[in-house]
Structure 1
Amino acid sequence: MRADTAPRLCLGGVMHARHWPVMHRFAYPLAWVRLPLSRLHEAGNVLFGVERARLFSFRYRDHGARDGSPLLPWIRALLAQHGLAEACNGEVVLQTFPRLMGFVFNPVSFWFCHDRAGVLRAVLCEVNNTFGERHNYLVAHPDARPIVSGDSFRSSKVFHVSPFFPVRGEYRFRFAERGSVASVAIDLFDAGRHQLTTRMSGRAEALSAPGLMRVALRFPFMTLGVVARIHWQALKLFLKRVPFHRKPVPPLKETTS
């Protein structure tokens, strides 16, 4: 898996399927961006602003340290803390939802960390819940060897996301690319049982004003819709009498690796 060094707009969708204690599945079309952090200055156009107000925008304060500081030094420091500075010394591509009319909520963003040859070596999964909390899951091979399509990474679940799942079990992450199509698979297992399947897949194209206009016309409430759909699906689970779990105290550590 190699770095795409140009800003991209991705058109695709997300699917969630709960397998226990009831079956519950939904899928929605969506769009997101993939931004090489060393080339953020090239991403702007009349509809997309980096630290500028546009119909679509990207703000540093939505990621990383959340204080508006540049993102590349932040992710470099985090990788160094986890012994990945040498392996991940190339481009970092951030996959995330942009702000639309100033609003955004990102259930999860992905930082794809490459070496100087453009080969993927680590991925930071930046998770947010609707309570304003966040946690990072950093995945890489123990020897930091290249990540290839289909490699599986395991990480203990330590962060509260949905009140309809307890904070326990194990995530399994997989990343794949085929041509211009990139996908992420996240599965949750608990006590040997497959609890949840999540898939996010999209086709990349140039991050252009015409492409963004098509997205705005097709999904005029895209980012607000993410939050609305979360609550709509939560209501459905409540009506199905899925057990409810109160939110625990968030983990002290910011990143799990």
Structure 2
Amino acid sequence: MVNALYPCTITHVRTAPRRYALRHRTFLWLIDPDQPPRLPAVLRPLARFDARDHFGGTAPTIRAGLARFLRARDIDLADGTVTMLTQARVLGHVFNPLTVYWCHRPDGTPLCVVAEVHNTYGERHSYLLRTDAAGRAVTGKDFYVSPFFPVDGDYRMRLPEPGPRLNLTVHLERAESRPFTATVRGTRRPGTPAQLVRLFLRHPFSTAVTSAAIRLHGIRLLLHRLPVQPRPRHHTQEGMR
């Protein structure tokens, strides 16, 4: 697989308890975690892919952390391949609201999909998904992300592996309603040093800006007097220690 970049637009739409929408532009990497991009030394601070930023943060490599997570759920990644969509660590800072791993058997057939979610409290949680041919799956919500939604309901996800286009959708469903929808839309670009420089100049400090934007919109929602839901204690998942 050739490493690629996706300049993209991320949207969040809330319909309850109050309608609110945000739109944010950034860029994401699609990589093989076993063979991440080889960048000139001067550009490496703009795109680092560290095992400490994923799963338990203690595995020697990203793939080892993923394999540990899957093994705890009786799935053997073995010699299969992995495609990973993520934000890189930029100038020492990283924030990945959603990282997706498409796992394949050695013959190339789909094995599973893992959606790794990070919240603004420094916590992580991964969802093991058995997607259909269109990349769709449903899973229960088990992780506190937004302070304005409790930990209940289901996620209905559509996570097709990216090609020329990136097109992901996550719906939160509660009590036969959809109070929240997130989408990620982008177009593939080559993962070259020149393209990275262009995107960095267009979106400097992209991970810090993403984190700040989420917090800013949270403040706006507080000013709209949305009730804050208590944050339960986060329990580290098996295979993420």
- Please report the TM-score for the alignment, with normalisation by the length of structure 1: 0.85
CA positional deviation for 1:115: 1.9
- Percent identity (aligned): 28
What's 2:93 paired with? 103
CA positional deviation for 1:179: 4.4
Q: 1:13 aligns with which of 9, 12, 19?
A: 9
Report which of the two has the higher share of strand.
1
What stretches of structure 2 of length at least 5 have no aligned partner? none
CA positional deviation for 1:89: 4.8
**How many Å separate the matches in 2 of 1:202 and 1:11?**
6
What's 1:66 paired with? 57
**How many Å separate the matches in 1 of 2:94 and 2:150?**
26
When residues 91 and 48 of structure 1 are mapped into structure 2, their CA distance, relative to the original with a 3 A threshold, is: farther
Deviations 1:120-141 (A, max 9, x none): 3311111111111111111015
What's 2:74 paired with? 83
CA RMSD, 1 decimal: 2.1
8 Å CA contact 2:3–2:190 kept in 1: the answer is yes
8 Å CA contact 2:163–2:188 kept in 1: the answer is no
8 Å CA contact 2:87–2:207 kept in 1: the answer is yes
8 Å CA contact 1:36–1:92 kept in 2: the answer is yes
What's 2:117 paired with? 127
Aligned length: 239
What's 2:136 paired with? 152
What stretches of structure 1 of length at least 5 have no aligned partner? 142-146
CA positional deviation for 1:103: 0.8
Deviations 1:57-111 (A, max 9, x none): 222211133025112233223323323327x852111211111111111111111
SS at match of 2:48: strand
8 Å CA contact 2:58–2:65 kept in 1: the answer is no
**How many Å separate the matches in 1 of 2:96 and 2:163?**
25
**How many Å separate the matches in 2 of 1:246 and 1:48?**
42
When residues 167 and 228 of structure 1 are mapped into structure 2, their CA distance, relative to the original with a 3 A threshold, is: same
CA positional deviation for 1:187: 0.4
- 5 Å matches for 1:173-192? 173-176=157-160, 179-192=163-176
- Please report the TM-score for the alignment, with normalisation by the length of structure 2: 0.91
SS at match of 1:92: strand
Choose 243-252 or 171-180, whichever is displaced more. Answer: 171-180
